[in-house]
Amino acid sequence: MKKILITGSAGFIGFHLAKTMINMGYQVIGLDNLNNYYDPILKIDRLNILDEYVLENNLSGRYEFIKLDLIDKSGLSEIFNKYKFDIVINLAAQAGVRYSLKNPEAYINSNIVGFANILECCREADIEHLLFASSSSVYGMNVKQPFSAQDNTDFPVSLYAATKKANELLAHSYSHLFGFACTGLRFFTVYGPYGRPDMAYYKFTENIFNGKAIDVFNDGQMERDFTYIDDIVNGIIALIDQKPMRTSNSISNAPSSLSIYNLGNNNPITLKRFISAIENALDKKADKNYLPMQPGDVPITYADIDPLVSLSGFEPKTSIEDGIKKFVDWYLHSKKDSK
């Protein structure tokens, strides 16, 4: 039974990934600092669901949660020394493009210092494979579509994106110098049940449900490669045993065992269509407040997933209408439960 560390396990993606991997037979150690970027109650709810799932399915010994911040290097080292992980999946990060304009220090601490600590612990513990969350935000204002992992990403337009680009560069350096395998995961607008309340789809659903206006940026013409959470989880799992080989790229003679993949739906959807899917699922029309594009936002994200498809057979299966319906059903159910 392989032992897996999932950081950010109380987060949206981490929660879904942990539940799936526990069910698959992995021994999962979840780590999270439970910060208050959004209401920690949702994070606690996710953790409670994992505990209940393990108990109800007699999976004792498959899962353990530890509260820790990645900037605590000594505490992190103790965990690595105690559990002897085979695989590390680093999903812990300070998320959100717009929040990075207000609180840049949170991004430097979590996304830079925290990730450097993960790399150091992986080096010290001789970890077999590190997979880590990057973001489609690294593509910035690139005009070539779809975005390829081979594209230049030297010009991020938000601090959040810059920290994710920095993660990729740090991973390359560590892999080159110390030889361990790293895989970067560029996520494209992930959505679904138990999602983050700061995400647009959650805010839209909540405001439409409560009869409040929604802010629609760039006249609703922005396009996003919205990717349902189950497809994201399947993509991550498909890469766990796909350790990158040590090679040099076409630009540099510095060999490393680093691969970068897009995890997206390969099908960008306009914001207007996205809002329409929410309206249909709620059976309620939105009152729209049209606003210009926000600083740090990009007009389109569109994932080239061909390398991942060729390697693993990865295939996103969830349409925007089906995925939004599942999210809205969960949202409405959660509102009933909270009464």
Active site amino acids: 160
Secondary structure of the chain as H, E, C letters: CCEEEEECCCCHHHHHHHHHHHHHCCEEEEEECCCCCCCHHHHHHHHHHHHHHHHHCCCCCCEEEEECCCCCHHHHHHHHHHHCCCEEEECCCCCCCCHHHHCHHHHHHHHHHHHHHHHHHHHHHCCCEEEEEEEHHHHCCCCCCCECCCCCCCCCCCHHHHHHHHHHHHHHHHHHHHCCEEEEEEECCEECCCCCCCCHHHHHHHHHHCCCCEEEEHHHCCEECCEEHHHHHHHHHHHHCCCCCCECCCCCCCCECEEEEEECCCCCEEHHHHHHHHHHHHCCCCCEEEECCCCCCCCECCECCHHHHHHHCCCCCCCHHHHHHHHHHHHHHHHHHHC
As a whole number of Å, the CA-based R_g of the chain is 19
Cis peptide bond prior to 146, omega within 30° of 0: yes
335 within 8 A of 177, measured Cβ to Cβ: no
How many residues are present in the chain?
Answer: 339
| Alpha-carbon gap, residue 328 to 121, rounded angstroms | 40
Choose among 244, 239, 137: nearest CA to 186.
137
